Amino acid sequence: MQRTLESSFRQEYPGTFEILFAVEDPHDPAIAVVNELLTRYPKIAARILVGQDNVGINPKVNNMLKAFDQAQSDLLWICDSNVYTDPGTLRRSVDLMLDDRRIGVVHHVVFSESPDTLGAMLDNAFLVTNHCRMYLAINSFGVASCLMGKSNLYYKSALDSVGGLASFGQYLAEDNMIGQALWRSGWKHTMTGDLARQPTDIDSFSEYCRRRIRWVRVRKYNVTVATLYEPFTESIVLGLLTAWALHRLYALDIISTFSTFFSCWFALDMLFFYRINHGPPPSWLWFVVSWLCREVLALPLWIAAIFGNTVMWRGQKFRLHINGTVDVVK
pLDDT (0 to 100) of residue 136: 94
299 within domain boundaries: no
pTM: 0.92
- Identify the pLDDT of residue 84: 95
Contact 94, 105 (CB under 8 A): no
Whether residue 268 lies inside any domain: the answer is no
Residue 190 lies in domain: 2-205
Q: Tell me the per-residue pLDDT of 270-319, one tens digit each, with 9 for 90 and over.
A: 999 999 888 888 888 998 999 999 999 999 999 999 999 999 887 889 99
Low-confidence ranges of the chain (pLDDT < 50): none
Residue 291 forms part of a structural domain:
no
**pLDDT at position 201:** 81
Q: What contacts 106, CB < 8 A, 6 or more positions away?
A: 93, 96, 97, 152, 153, 189, 190, 191, 192
Query: What angle, rounded to 10 degrees, do the helices at 2-9 and 30-40 form?
Result: 40
Helices (H) and strands (E) in the chain, counts: 13, 9
269 within some domain? no
Provide the domain count of the chain.
Answer: 1
pLDDT of res. 300 = 97
Work out the burial of residue 239: count CB atoms within 10 Å of its CB; fewer than 13 is exposed, 13-18 middle, 19 or more buried: buried
Among 86, 123, 175, 194, the one annotated catalytic: 175
Phi-psi region of 116 (alpha: psi -120 to 50; beta: other; left: phi over 0): alpha
Residue 270 identity (one-letter amino acid) = M
Helix (H) or strand (E) holding 110: strand 103-113
Q: What is the pLDDT of residue 277?
A: 87
Residue 24's domain is classified under what CATH number? 3.90.550.10
The predicted pLDDT at position 135 comes to: 94
80 is a catalytic site residue: no
At residue 114, the pLDDT reads 84
pLDDT value at residue 203: 86
- 97 located within any domain: yes
Pairing status of strand 18-23 against strand 45-50: parallel
| Any domain includes 161 | yes
CA dihedral 169, 174, 179, 182 (to 10 degrees): 0
Has residue 249 been placed in a domain?
no
